Structure 1
Amino acid sequence: MLSLLQIKNFTLVDQLTLQFGQGLNVLTGETGAGKSIILDAIDTVLGGKVNNRLIRQGMQQASLEATFQGDTTLNEWLHQQEIEPLDDGTIVCYRELILTGETLRSRSRINGVMVNLQVMGQLRDRLVEITAQGQTVQLMDSTRQRELLDLYGGTTLLKQRDRVEIAYENWKLVEKALEKRRQSEKDRLQRLDLLDYQLKELSEAELTDPDEVEHLEQERDRLSHVVDLQQLSYQTYQLLYQNDSGDPAIADQLAETENLLTTMAEYDNKIEPILEMIRSALTQVVEAGQQINSYGDALEADPERLTEVEERINLLRRICRKYGPSLGDVINYYQKLQDELAELTDNQQSIEQLEKDYKIAQETLEKASQELTQLRQQAATKLEKQLVQELKPLAMDKVIFVCQISPCSPTPSGSDKVVFYFSPNPGEKIQPLSSTASGGEMSRFLLALKACFTKSEKRSGTLIFDEIDAGVSGKVAQAIGEKLHQLSHQYQILCVTHQPLVAAMADNHFRVSKQIIEESSELLNAENESLNLPEIRTVVRVMALDNLQTRKEELAQLTGGNSAKDAIEFAQSLLAKAELYRLGKR
């Protein structure tokens, strides 16, 4: 419950302190008197959006403070946020707006602890609910209607919706894993096709020696120069061993040298090492001559082999360009492909198992959603009957209301689409609430809906209604006043109204007005001389009407625009009827 509201330098308010009480609190006043400023202040202190215009003109700072009566649930929430409850059990919400140039900053506190707007917003949801005629557009939305039905259904339905949300998240996780695995399988099969092709190509190449290209190039050079090699080998043989031209061969010259050194060694044994070197050289020259002769005799032109060698070289070079750069790199790559193939063909994760898991998750979600649908249908049937009963006293005794539940694609909130259908007049076909109800009808519908919730909700708090009775009069206004008073048995109600029939039902009545005052301001003239001149300002004032006379006068103003005798008498009769109603209903 909101017990105290303090406002400083907020729009047209210079300084204001309001004490609200339990039950129905009503704010009245002329159009444009500033009644909505009070509600704006409550909205702002609890984290509402702000702009530069909210700070009183000429000021750089505004402050708002709202004190609420707490309870056990709110204290538990405060402990979760690491905020200590106050000794008297109250919750003090404070917000400061600071304007620096064109930059607006704000700071929020709960019980003196600095908090962000997200935390303040969470507290707001636990403290107040603001309903304005312009906000009924939210009620037109199917998603909001489903949310309202779920709240009406109570704890059992909400717990089942939580189960559906868990089942939905699990279903989505399995679906994602299955899609990923299917994509992985697609990629795997494509990779296997590529591996098969590459392995086949490399396997057919029969790669074993990383130096094969160099060897083949040497063989190619030999095969392509057979004639040259034969001629050169023969010439070498002639020089080394047997010279057909008549000149002595190297072997002959070495033999002659050996003879000379042998003779010399007979006289000087120091020649022996040299003699041994010549003898070794002669042996090697003879051996070389014989081998070069054999080499030359063995040389034979082989065009077919030359072709094979060139083709093999071309093949290996192409493979090196494709998988290399070197043949050694290609052989290593071939081994890696074989290892990858073994890994891909040994995959333990089964698509079939994931498909089974997906089916189980889907069936679990469908079952949970069906149970949720059944609970919603039960709640819808109950809401249809109760809402119609709540609307009858609001001059809508012929109304038809249907809460239609139809299937939709799975969501975290189930597989149901909820649409409120409504027919306010006999003989009219029911249509969606969004396309049927007028402004006045929507006001009564909201009140009736909230009345339904008071019997299913085990909570209290503050409900704020901003001119929810706009567009109605007479018996309907009286019925709205009585309904607001009924709601005030469970909630604290703050209501802005222009209806005397509604205002008469108030437990606490406040009159909002604008006044023109003189404020002292220091101005500088052209000669820089300081002058204290009066400044005319408009401010909002709120007066608690805590006695019968002031209430009668205010109701008379709402009724006839003056305090004439007839208006006063009518206002007195309204207060008397309201008192009788309260006594009779309690």
Structure 2
Amino acid sequence: MIERVYLKEYVTFEEVELEFSEVELEFSKGLIVFTGPSGAGKSVLMRGILSIFGFFDINAKLSEAIVDNKLDLEKYGIEEDEVTIFRQIRKNKNRYFINNQAVSKKVVNKVAKEFIDYLSLREVDEFENENIVNLLDKMIREKEYYVKLEDYKSKYKKYKELKNKLEKINKEEKEAIEKIEFLKYEIDKIENISPKVGEFEELMSIKKDLSKIEKIKEKAYEIERIFEYENNVYEFLDMIEEDSEFFSNAMNELRIAIDKAQEKASYLESIDIEEVLNRLSNLQELIRRFGSIENSLEYLEEKKKELNLLENLSFEKENLQKEIKTLKKELINLAEYLHTKREEVAKKFEEKLNFYLKKLYMPDAKVVLEKDNLYNLGITKAKIIVNDIDINTISTGEFNRLRVALLASKLEYEEKEKTLFLDEIDANLSGEESMSVAEVLKYLSKKYQIFAISHQPQLASKANKHFLVTKKDNKSFVKELSKEERIEEIARIIGGKEKSQKAIAYAKEMLNIK
């Protein structure tokens, strides 16, 4: 439950500090009602409180709320404490904190939605199919049912994954023929060249050598003439009594070098220069496109794998269709079981709902279950109809009372204590109807902490805490009312500014004050 709220420099409120911890009575979480003249800032204040929890963008310089609910903060990486403190500070931009740890607004709202329900005007979420089906599931008290429900959810998740995979294959199949041709063309283009790592560098070296083969041959011929003077050198060395070994070694090395050059020249002359140039051109095209020969070979392998997958689509598709067919059959059997059990509790839920609708001076409602296509909760489609009229077309007053009846009907099945925010839930109602709403909300406060804005005396008279919102000189103020001040405020609501003795007497009667 929310124990304390603080707002500083928020719209027309300079400072708001509200304490709610005293509300908790022996069997009550508390009904907290805000009243005051139109335009004083009641809705603005409620939005401000909700903004602390990320439901709206906040305009306060500083805001804070202390909450005593047991929340699973560890999954968000937030340290837990005895109480949870939500704080927002505005410095250039809004910054959010939970237990002094900086978090995003999104995380704040996710945490808050675990214990806060905000029912805005004409909000129909609670009447959506899945919410009604989930409520029916909570009413079923059979272990076997929950085992089968979880089994269904698990199988349905797999079913959807397989369906998505099949859909992807069907889509790919339409494009496969054209894509297969393209892949084959790409593969053939690289395979026809059949590049090898290091080949390009080797051919470039050959090309370079081919460009100077004639010069090599010419120089080799000229150098060979040195051997004509070899004997003269030996004779000279003998004459001066020098060892000729160094000269002999040098001449042998020279002969070897000339032989190698001639062999290389002979090899190069056997090479087809046009073939080398064409090969280099093909390899250069691959390098330009892929960056390197290595990259082109990697691309080739990728395309071969892709081609293999596409050529095996029909086989994979056939297996998928068989698996989906088997799984669908299992899902339908499970869904039929779930639907039958839901039908059994739907009647009980309808009776409970109509019990509260009667208290709220509303006609009976019907909880209608129909079978539909498979979805994540089975085949059950549920809706609530009042007077054979769709809830989207009933009046605002009827709609709000229906929401109150729904809240009361699911009270005993709520697993967690929650805080409700209700914005003028008793709007457009007669006195008798307003009192019925007030009494049911009072009952709901056994399980919920309820924040409500009201312009009606009935709801104000049932409050555990009653706050008055006023406005003066374009500044708004909020204060908790004492017993005497509550009499004055309720009398104002009944009779307007000119509070008659009759209005005051009626206010005392509503508050059970003598």
Give TM class, smaller chain. Answer: 0.5 to 0.7
Match of 2:351 among 355, 363, 385: 385
Matches within 5 A, 1:469-548: 469-516=426-473, 538-546=474-482, 548=483
Matches within 5 A, 1:186-201: none
C-alpha deviation, 1:91, in angstroms: 0.9
Q: Per the alignment, do residues 174 and 513 of structure 1 end up closer, same or farther by CA in structure 2, a change over 3 Å counting?
A: same
Q: Cα deviations across residues 144-178 of structure 1 (Å, max 9, x unaligned)?
A: 55455556668967775544332222113333445
Q: Distance in 2 between matches of 1:147 and 1:556?
A: 43
CA contact (8 A) 2:135 2:410 kept: no
C-alpha deviation, 1:181, in angstroms: 6.0
Q: Distance in 1 between matches of 2:479 and 2:418?
A: 24
* Aligned: 1:406 with 2:393: no
C-alpha deviation, 1:551, in angstroms: 1.3
Q: Distance in 1 between matches of 2:440 and 2:127?
A: 22
* Aligned: 1:416 with 2:380: yes
- Any idea what SS the aligned residue of 1:465 has? strand
- Any idea what SS the aligned residue of 1:455 has? helix
Q: Cα deviations across residues 48-99 of structure 1 (Å, max 9, x unaligned)?
A: 2327xx35xxxxxx1211111123xx1xx1122222223xx2111112234x
Question: What amino acid maps onto 1:542 in structure 2?
Answer: V
Q: Which residue of 1 aligns with 2:413?
A: 456
Q: Distance in 2 between matches of 1:159 and 1:40?
A: 41
- Any idea what SS the aligned residue of 2:399 has? helix
Q: Which residue of 2 aligns with 1:85?
A: 80
C-alpha deviation, 1:193, in angstroms: 12
Question: What amino acid maps onto 1:432 in structure 2?
Answer: D
Q: Per the alignment, do residues 555 and 374 of structure 1 end up closer, same or farther by CA in structure 2, a change over 3 Å counting?
A: same
Matches within 5 A, 1:335-350: none
Q: Per the alignment, do residues 576 and 434 of structure 1 end up closer, same or farther by CA in structure 2, a change over 3 Å counting?
A: same
Q: Per the alignment, do residues 384 and 181 of structure 1 end up closer, same or farther by CA in structure 2, a change over 3 Å counting?
A: same
Q: Which residue of 2 aligns with 1:552?
A: 487
Q: Distance in 2 between matches of 1:377 and 1:478?
A: 33
Q: Cα deviations across residues 399-422 of structure 1 (Å, max 9, x unaligned)?
A: 221121222222223223222111
Q: Distance in 1 between matches of 2:66 and 2:124?
A: 30
- Any idea what SS the aligned residue of 1:40 has? helix
Question: What amino acid maps onto 1:24 in structure 2?
Answer: L
Q: Which residue of 1 aligns with 2:212?
A: none
Q: Distance in 2 between matches of 1:138 and 1:186?
A: 40
RMSD of the TM alignment (CA)? Answer: 3.5
Q: Which residue of 1 aligns with 2:153?
A: 165
* Aligned: 1:126 with 2:114: yes
Q: Cα deviations across residues 286-320 of structure 1 (Å, max 9, x unaligned)?
A: xxxxxxxxxxxxxxxxxxxxxxxxxxxxxxxxxxx
Q: Tell me, which stretches of 5 or more residues in structure 1 are unaligned?
A: 56-61, 195-338, 424-429, 517-537, 580-586
Q: Distance in 2 between matches of 1:12 and 1:159?
A: 54
Q: Per the alignment, do residues 153 and 450 of structure 1 end up closer, same or farther by CA in structure 2, a change over 3 Å counting?
A: farther
CA contact (8 A) 2:122 2:399 kept: no
Q: Cα deviations across residues 185-242 of structure 1 (Å, max 9, x unaligned)?
A: 8888999999xxxxxxxxxxxxxxxxxxxxxxxxxxxxxxxxxxxxxxxxxxxxxxxx
* Aligned: 1:434 with 2:392: yes
Q: Distance in 2 between matches of 1:155 and 1:554?
A: 50
Match of 1:43 among 32, 37, 50: 50
* Aligned: 1:359 with 2:325: yes
Matches within 5 A, 1:126-145: 126-132=114-120, 134-139=121-126, 141-142=128-129, 145=132
C-alpha deviation, 1:503, in angstroms: 0.8
* Aligned: 1:28 with 2:35: yes
- Any idea what SS the aligned residue of 1:109 has? strand
Q: Which residue of 2 aligns with 1:569?
A: 505
C-alpha deviation, 1:180, in angstroms: 5.7
Question: What amino acid maps onto 1:420 in structure 2?
Answer: I
Percent of pairs with identical residues: 27
The aligned length equals 385
Structure having the higher Rg: 1
Q: Distance in 2 between matches of 1:154 and 1:43?
A: 35
CA contact (8 A) 1:108 1:115 kept: yes
Q: Distance in 2 between matches of 1:449 and 1:472?
A: 18
Q: Cα deviations across residues 494-517 of structure 1 (Å, max 9, x unaligned)?
A: 11111112111111111111123x
Q: Distance in 1 between matches of 2:423 and 2:116?
A: 13
CA contact (8 A) 1:154 1:456 kept: no
Question: What amino acid maps onto 1:120 in structure 2?
Answer: V
Q: Which has the higher contact order (CA 8 A, sep 6+)?
A: 2
- Any idea what SS the aligned residue of 2:113 has? helix
Match of 2:98 among 110, 119, 131: 110
Q: Distance in 2 between matches of 1:556 and 1:43?
A: 29
Q: Per the alignment, do residues 355 and 567 of structure 1 end up closer, same or farther by CA in structure 2, a change over 3 Å counting?
A: closer
C-alpha deviation, 1:476, in angstroms: 1.2
CA contact (8 A) 1:94 1:109 kept: yes
Q: Cα deviations across residues 355-406 of structure 1 (Å, max 9, x unaligned)?
A: 332221111221232233223323322211110011111122xx22112122
Q: Which residue of 2 aligns with 1:9?
A: 9
Q: Per the alignment, do residues 158 and 553 of structure 1 end up closer, same or farther by CA in structure 2, a change over 3 Å counting?
A: farther
Per the normalisation by structure 1, the TM-score is 0.59
Q: Tell me, which stretches of 5 or more residues in structure 2 are unaligned?
A: 25-29, 183-303
Question: What amino acid maps onto 1:389 in structure 2?
Answer: F
Q: Which residue of 1 aligns with 2:88?
A: 95
Q: Which residue of 2 aligns with 1:66?
A: 65
- Any idea what SS the aligned residue of 2:123 has? helix
Q: Distance in 1 between matches of 2:123 and 2:180?
A: 61
CA contact (8 A) 1:25 1:506 kept: yes
- Any idea what SS the aligned residue of 2:366 has? strand
Q: Distance in 1 between matches of 2:45 and 2:475?
A: 13
CA contact (8 A) 1:64 1:94 kept: yes
Q: Distance in 2 between matches of 1:369 and 1:381?
A: 19
CA contact (8 A) 1:154 1:457 kept: no
Q: Distance in 1 between matches of 2:181 and 2:419?
A: 69
Q: Distance in 1 between matches of 2:63 and 2:165?
A: 52
CA contact (8 A) 2:491 2:507 kept: yes
Question: What amino acid maps onto 1:544 in structure 2?
Answer: E
- Any idea what SS the aligned residue of 1:126 has? coil
C-alpha deviation, 1:449, in angstroms: 0.5
Q: Per the alignment, do residues 82 and 137 of structure 1 end up closer, same or farther by CA in structure 2, a change over 3 Å counting?
A: closer
Question: What amino acid maps onto 1:402 in structure 2?
Answer: K
Question: What amino acid maps onto 1:94 in structure 2?
Answer: R
Q: Distance in 2 between matches of 1:387 and 1:176?
A: 40
CA contact (8 A) 1:128 1:461 kept: yes
Q: Per the alignment, do residues 154 and 48 of structure 1 end up closer, same or farther by CA in structure 2, a change over 3 Å counting?
A: farther
Question: What amino acid maps onto 1:455 in structure 2?
Answer: E
Q: Distance in 2 between matches of 1:4 and 1:560?
A: 32
